[in-house]
């Protein structure tokens, strides 16, 4: 397995004041060949806007995933969306972000949403948008290449006009948003979540907590992949110890060993002794151990159970994981930072199987 680029995706929304449902909708789909992200903004707010936006995203994602030619997809969506007689605009706008999974070549299609944001090497670069007309509606498109550290985002007009009539005359504005993103890339850790959350938090501040329109931001950030292998449960046959340890040590990513017996097997192979860090011991949790070539060594079932509880309580959100320098916290952090998790285990108890099942549920919810 090769540690290569990973397309990190995150979205966040603010509902218009008084509305339980957001009139914007984001949906994305990752396959081996491509990543497709759709942001749709339904006209108005509340239930009606939510239905319109949801319909638009579902049509686009379904048809694009079925490899229907792009022009036919756009014709279908545009032909489905009527025009508001009063405001003379579409009932639902949308932005499509499409990335080739092999080359990271991207394409953007924008229909009546604010211009997408493309940030290359820490600086926002305006995209050279080309205009085309389909069924009497004008769409804009652009193409480019994403490198590691680049960001590509789509926003609804609720973000663009935040602060209008309050701290500013015409709202936040695209240029200010672009400058803000550049500042985030300079001053904070680089993930899609940190960028998107910072922009949405500032949008909330500009509205002074009274959200005038549904506001949504979704972004792609290209970063290094973070795979994780958790080795727990010793092989049934002792002669297989070396093969299993070789699999662990040859894994290109973060490595965790859970369980005293499993830790001793790895230590024996390395010609080492597991050294304990007593500062990490808690009344209900044994301390972590230390081995070269392994990122984390913990006790087994108690630590896994507590790590599962931590993951559940923070709702798979690393930012909400409460710090405590113990084995379960460190294991939960490894799990939440991972893009993919490989469990390397042979003989486990039914309790441990349940823990893995719950972890799978929580990780699926976070994906």
Tell me: the pLDDT tens digits for 159-174? 998 876 544 445 688 9
Separation of alpha carbons 42 and 25, rounded Å: 8
Q: What is the domain extent for residue 17?
A: 5-224
pLDDT in the model for residue 366: 47
Burial class (CB in 10 A: 0-12, 13-18, 19+), 86: exposed
Q: Determine contact, residues 349/236, Cβ cutoff 8 Å.
A: no
Tell me: the pLDDT tens digits for 317-359? 888 899 999 999 999 999 988 888 888 876 555 555 555 666 6
Separation of alpha carbons 294 and 14, rounded Å: 42
Asked whether residue 211 falls in the same domain as residue 275, the answer is: no
Number of domains comprising the chain: 2
Asked whether residue 201 falls in the same domain as residue 247, the answer is: no
Asked whether residue 245 falls in the same domain as residue 355, the answer is: yes
Tell me: the pLDDT tens digits for 217-252? 999 999 988 899 999 877 777 778 888 899 999 999
Final residue of a domain: which of 224, 249, 279? 224
Asked whether residue 213 falls in the same domain as residue 266, the answer is: no
Ranking 55-69, 118-132, 168-182 by mean pLDDT, the lowest is: 168-182
The string of DSSP codes covering 287-338 is PEEE-TT-SEEE-SHHHHHHHHHHHHHTTT-GGGPPP--SHHHHHHHHHHH-
Asked whether residue 189 falls in the same domain as residue 231, the answer is: no
pLDDT in the model for residue 102: 86
**What is the pTM for the complete model shown?**
0.80
Final residue of a domain: which of 201, 224, 247? 224
Separation of alpha carbons 54 and 25, rounded Å: 6
Strand partners, 232: 258
Query: What 8-state DSSP symbol labels residue 239?
Result: G
Tell me: the pLDDT tens digits for 8-33? 999 999 999 999 999 999 999 988 78
Asked whether residue 322 falls in the same domain as residue 194, the answer is: no
Tally of CB atoms within 10 A around 361: 14
Supply the CATH number for residue 29's domain.
3.60.40.10
Asked whether residue 295 falls in the same domain as residue 179, the answer is: no
Asked whether residue 217 falls in the same domain as residue 77, the answer is: yes
Asked whether residue 237 falls in the same domain as residue 314, the answer is: yes
Asked whether residue 349 falls in the same domain as residue 216, the answer is: no
Tell me: the pLDDT tens digits for 85-109? 665 655 789 999 999 988 999 999 9
Average pLDDT, the chain: 86
Final residue of a domain: which of 224, 239, 268? 224
Asked whether residue 310 falls in the same domain as residue 337, the answer is: yes
Q: Is the per-residue pLDDT at 114 higher than 80? A: yes
Instruction: Give alpha helix (H) positions in the chain.
Output: 46-65, 70-80, 157-160, 174-187, 192-206, 241-249, 260-270, 301-313, 327-337, 350-366
Residue 363: pLDDT band by 50, 70, 90 thresholds?
A: low
């Amino acid at each position: 397995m090769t540690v290569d680029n990973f397309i990190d995706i995150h979205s966040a929304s603010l509902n218009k004041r008084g509305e339980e449902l957001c009139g914007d909708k984001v949906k994305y789909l990752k396959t081996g060949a491509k990543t497709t992200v759709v942001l749709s903004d339904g006209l108005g707010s509340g239930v009606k806007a939510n239905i319109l936006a949801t319909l638009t995203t579902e049509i686009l994602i379904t048809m694009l995933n079925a490899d229907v030619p792009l022009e036919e997809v756009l014709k279908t969506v545009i032909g489905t969306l009527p025009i508001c007689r009063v405001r003379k605009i579409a009932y639902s706008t949308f932005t499509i972000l499409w990335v080739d999974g092999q080359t990271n070549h991207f394409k953007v299609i924008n229909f009546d949403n604010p211009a997408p944001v493309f940030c290359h090497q820490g600086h926002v670069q305006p995209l050279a948008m080309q205009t085309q007309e389909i069924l009497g509606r004008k769409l804009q498109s652009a193409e480019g290449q994403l490198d590691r550290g680049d960001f590509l985002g789509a926003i609804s007009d609720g973000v663009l006009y935040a602060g209008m009539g309050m701290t500013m005359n015409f709202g936040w504005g695209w240029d200010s948003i672009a400058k803000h993103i550049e500042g985030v890339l300079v001053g904070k850790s680089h993930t899609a979540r940190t960028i998107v959350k910072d922009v949405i938090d500032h949008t909330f501040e500009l509205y002074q907590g009274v959200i005038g329109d549904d506001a949504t931001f979704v972004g792609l950030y290209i970063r290094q992949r973070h795979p994780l292998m958790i080795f727990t449960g010793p092989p049934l046959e002792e002669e297989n110890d070396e093969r299993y340890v070789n699999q662990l040590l040859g894994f290109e990513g973060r490595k965790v060993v859970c369980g005293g017996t499993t830790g001793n097997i790895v230590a024996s192979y390395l010609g080492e002794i597991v050294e304990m860090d007593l500062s990490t011991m808690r009344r209900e949790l044994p301390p972590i151990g230390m081995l070269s070539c392994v990122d984390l060594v913990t006790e087994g079932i108690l630590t896994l159970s507590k790590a599962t509880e931590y993951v559940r309580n923070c709702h798979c959100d690393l930012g909400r994981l409460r710090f405590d320098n113990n084995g379960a916290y460190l294991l939960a952090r490894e799990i939440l930072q991972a893009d993919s998790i490989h469990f390397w285990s042979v003989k486990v108890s039914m309790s441990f199987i349940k823990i893995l099942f719950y972890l799978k549920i929580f990780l699926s919810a976070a994906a």
